[in-house]
Amino acid sequence: MEQGSTHATRVTIERLGHRGDGIAAGPVYVPDALPGEVVEGAVQSGVIAAPRIVTPSTDRVAAPCRHAKACGGCQLQHASDDFVAGWKVDVIRRALSAQGLETELRPIATSPRQSRRRAAFSARRTKKGALAGFHRKASDVVVAVPDCILVTPALAAALPLVEALAVLGASRKGELSVLVTDCASGLDVAVSGGKPLDTALRADLAALAQDHGLSRLTWDDETLAFKPAFQSFDGIDVVPPPGAFLQATEAGEQTLRAGVNAALEGCTHLVDLFAGCGTFALPLAKRARVHAVEGEAAMVRALDQGWRQAQGLRHVTHEARDLFRNPLLPDELKRFDGVVIDPPRAGAEAQIAEIASARVPKIAHVSCNPVTFARDCATLVAAGYRLDWVMPVDQFRWSTHVEVVSALSLQD
């Protein structure tokens, strides 16, 4: 087959790639295609950009969102829920198998529709006002998504606010990025890419924040309007700094937290590595002493304030520390009987090596990248740990992204 061919070519999809594209022999990449489907179209540079489905898969469904064809926010709305769940579990299974690991894979927990509590909207000024939404697939064109079924209703209703922010503060040529988080006290909004602040813009933005009842409005690094933008971690109120890491859905957070609790059952002195604002550390302090370690000082301060204002928690100590450059060493780790670790996508190779050397009895490992997760687990297994179980967690419904929570225990 000629990769630059423009005549119609018929191919059979063999598997899905990591971006959700169907892949046929060649390889030929086919967006929005599913394994087993026969598709036809012109091949350009190894891609059939506009495929015609000749033989559809029994797993093909009508996309539940009317924006699915244009919006780049979701990649897998054309596939059944059962297919997506099975595919994501297989992604984890293959990553473990590549490292020679086998374990119990628990049923996947998928967050419901309209549950994403944070969204990064894009907005541009237009001749008539502004346009806000998500990017078109493989494009920087903004697509309006007035009834997105992925985000919470409060976020879906925030598009007029995002457009108003663009009218006030976007340049005619630039794009505004607006991170909106759903809080109990109102929307928490962090804007980047806008005009420099001056007296008039500050006043206009403050008035807009008041009109829309915002919990907080941050313009680049300056907070213009603020009342406590609380997030509740198992009933413990914390005010994260603007744009701080937050689990994508409340349901997903609860599932991860339950998994962490199960993995560390019986532990009384815990260390939480990459602790963020205390998603796991603070609830764990209901039953154990906790030392929380996080690289971002602002998140550590938020965690500490949340602990000090809560009732009934055991002692929580903390430190701001770059765990990539300066991981906790075995002599620091040996006083703990359990570890929580939830690193970024790159994993935590250096820190995992120190945990393995310290031989901490129990580990709750949370990860957003099955490949680096499996790599790090292989290091621990080689050092004498058993990978007891892994639970897939899908907070990013209809996307190619999947997370895990798992339990490891040191073997005598």
Q: Which residue is it, tokens 């829309």? A: 212
Q: Using CB atoms within 10 Å of the CB of residue 315, give its burial: 0 to 12 exposed, 13 to 18 middle, 19+ buried.
A: exposed
> In this structure, are residues 137 and 68 in contact, taking their beta carbons and an 8 Å threshold?
no
SS3 69: coil
Q: Beta strands 403-410 and 362-367: pairing type?
A: antiparallel
> In this structure, are residues 280 and 257 in contact, taking their beta carbons and an 8 Å threshold?
yes
Within a 13 Å sphere around the CA of 211, how many CA atoms are in the beta-carbon half?
Answer: 11
Cβ-Cβ contacts under 8 Å for 308 (sequence gap 6 or more): none
Separation between Cα atoms, residue 52 and residue 38, nearest integer Å: 9
Give the catalytic positions in this structure. 368
Cβ-Cβ contacts under 8 Å for 298 (sequence gap 6 or more): 241, 244
Cβ-Cβ contacts under 8 Å for 320 (sequence gap 6 or more): 294, 295, 296, 297, 300
Exposed e or buried b per residue across 333-366, where buried means at least 16 C-beta atoms within 10 angstroms of its C-beta = beebbbbbbbbeeebbeebbbbbbebebebbbbb
Secondary-structure breakdown of the chain: helix, strand, coil percentages, each rounded to the nearest 5: 25, 30, 45
